[in-house]
Amino acid sequence: MNYPHPILAREGWPFIAITLVLALWAHLSWGLPIALVLDVLAIFVIQFFRDPPRLVPGDDDVVISPADGRVIKVERTFDPYAEREAILISVFMNVFNVHSNRSSVDGVVRKVQYFAGSFFNASLDKASLENERNAMVIDAQFPSGVQTVTLVQVAGLVARRILCYVDVGAELKKGQRYGFIRFGSRVDVYLPIDALVKVSPGDKVSATLSVLAKLS
């Protein structure tokens, strides 16, 4: 498997280096109590930025989860980015989840839009349209033809940086890493209304490993 930065995400390397240096310095100069606090901080930062490679399901008709976390919403709604009726599946990531984002489908990016906004708790309904977010509309390839799938990275209460590495016209492969959100957030997935949903609110999902829905 060709993966560019196994185990630890490149986005975390500066944070990991800083916390490890501080922890080492504390052990040498500041005493055990402070050193232990910084040890815990370093461990937290390392676990937050873990980014293991994942196997991708071979089925052509599935939509896979773009993130690790918990499903907090499955509902029929309006997709404001592709301007259509859609099924929305929201995956909430807490600070202990892997925060690397991966494409749910094979396809070509038709639109990328960034929106500045607030930083409400990402589990709240209003976060989808009021928080800082980055939306990516994809012309996705399925056995029945091209279908529209929208992936939206949404910042949360603690998150302060959404990273998206693809532009309009990019060709994505299912499971391909396309972005990262730092410190707690969610990803909204808008699907065609005839999608066969395979998850329910409360389900725990893993990026690439979990199937959110099927499209014929």
Based on the residue annotation, tell me whether 206 is a catalytic residue of this protein: no
Measured between alpha carbons, how far is 151 from 129 in angstroms, rounded to an integer?
13
Sheet of strand 145-155, all strands in order from the earlier edge strand to the far edge = 171-172, 107-115, 133-142, 145-155, 185-191, 84-93, 69-79, 204-205
Nearest to 2 by CA among 55, 46, 47: 55
Please calculate the CA angle 168-170-152 and round it to the nearest 5 degrees.
65
The tokens for 49 are: 């930025």
Residue 212 DSSP SS3: strand
Contact 19, 40 (CB under 8 A): no
**Active-site position among 90, 100, 104, 185:** 185
The H-or-E segment that residue 32 falls in is: helix 32-48
Catalytic residues: 185
